[in-house]
Amino acid sequence: DQQVKQNSPSLSVQEGRISILNCDYTNSMFDYFLWYKKYPAEGPTFLISISSIKDKNEDGRFTVFLNKSAKHLSLHIVPSQPGDSAVYFCAADSNTGNQFYFGTGTSLTVIP
Amino acid sequence: DTAVSQTPKYLVTQMGNDKSIKCEQNLGHDTMYWYKQDSKKFLKIMFSYNNKELIINETVPNRFSPKSPDKAHLNLHINSLELGDSAVYFCASSRKDRGNSPLHFGNGTRLTVT
């Protein structure tokens, strides 16, 4: 039973435009949400996170939005750059839980 | 300095063999994990250790046995390897004693069973 879902396996965006990656979750106990970036033959790298007490967190070109009522989060990358081309995973955790749950990833291609 | 390191990066072996994957973290984290990424790219938890104690053991065949000699190490031993064990295995660590803290991954071990 997948508790974190990314319904778009791939996304292509022109360089300089905004990339929006989406993620949905089912477990209302989750209180911490993360985005990871993964290049081929490397491990996932932590990108940005958000606690459930917030609805937005920004770090440079990356912004994560959380809509708790819809159980939905999104990652905005603006402006998108070719080096952003990678697979992006969203993940969720609860303070009382013992594991992180991951989505299946979205492959982002930024076209120069 | 690599924060979470795992060896080997690639492992090719035959069915029936026994193999180990080593993992070490130098972040001072108290919790370590093994995740498996299958052919569908889904990252699934296998084991979680907190301060050398097993706290999660998902539905994993008992051919897989984790060993944590200390807080900084979590090794994975696999007996009687099967074709279906072929996957990428990621070690990770986090700091659970400080509440919300991100997971840090190693670069993965690609296991191929022939």
* Average pLDDT of every residue of chain B: 90
Q: What is the pLDDT of residue A73?
A: 97
Q: What is the pLDDT of residue B1?
A: 62
Percent of chain A with pLDDT over 90: 89
For the segment B83-110, the average pLDDT, to the nearest whole number, is 90
Percent of chain B with pLDDT over 90: 65
- In chain B, the domains with their CATH numbers are 4-113 (2.60.40.10)
Q: What is the pLDDT of residue B72?
A: 94
Q: Which residues of B touch A44 (CB under 8 A)?
A: 43, 90, 105
pLDDT band at A94 (very low <50, low <70, confident <90, very high): confident
**How many residues does the structure list for chain A?**
112
Range of the domain at A30: 4-111
CA B61 remoteness from chain centre: 14
| Cβ–Cβ below 8 Å for A98 and B108 | no
B89 touches chain A (CB under 8 A): no
Q: Give the mutation candidate from B24, B43, B50, B112 for the A interface (greatest A CB count, under 10 A).
A: B43
For the segment B69-80, the average pLDDT, to the nearest whole number, is 94
Task: Identify the CATH number of the domain in which residue A47 sits.
Answer: 2.60.40.10
> Are residues B108 and B89 in contact, defined by beta-carbon separation less than 8 angstroms?
yes
For the segment A18-45, the average pLDDT, to the nearest whole number, is 95
Q: Which token pair is B46?
A: 């296998």
Closest CA to B65 of B83, B82, B50, B46: B46
Q: Is the pLDDT of residue B18 over 70?
A: yes
CA distances to A17, A99, B30, B45, B85 from B93, rounded to whole Å, are: 34, 11, 8, 12, 22
Closest CA to A21 of A12, B53, A30, A29: A12
Q: Which residues of B touch A92 (CB under 8 A)?
A: none
A57 touches chain B (CB under 8 A): no
> Are residues B72 and B62 in contact, defined by beta-carbon separation less than 8 angstroms?
no
Q: How many CB atoms lie within 10 A of CB A104?
A: 18
Number of structural domains (chain A) is: 1
Q: What is the pLDDT of residue A2?
A: 84
Q: What is the pLDDT of residue B56?
A: 73
> Are residues B106 and B37 in contact, defined by beta-carbon separation less than 8 angstroms?
no
A12 touches chain B (CB under 8 A): no
For the segment B74-84, the average pLDDT, to the nearest whole number, is 96
A104 touches chain B (CB under 8 A): yes
pLDDT digits (tens, 9 = 90+) for B44-63: 999 888 877 887 777 788 99
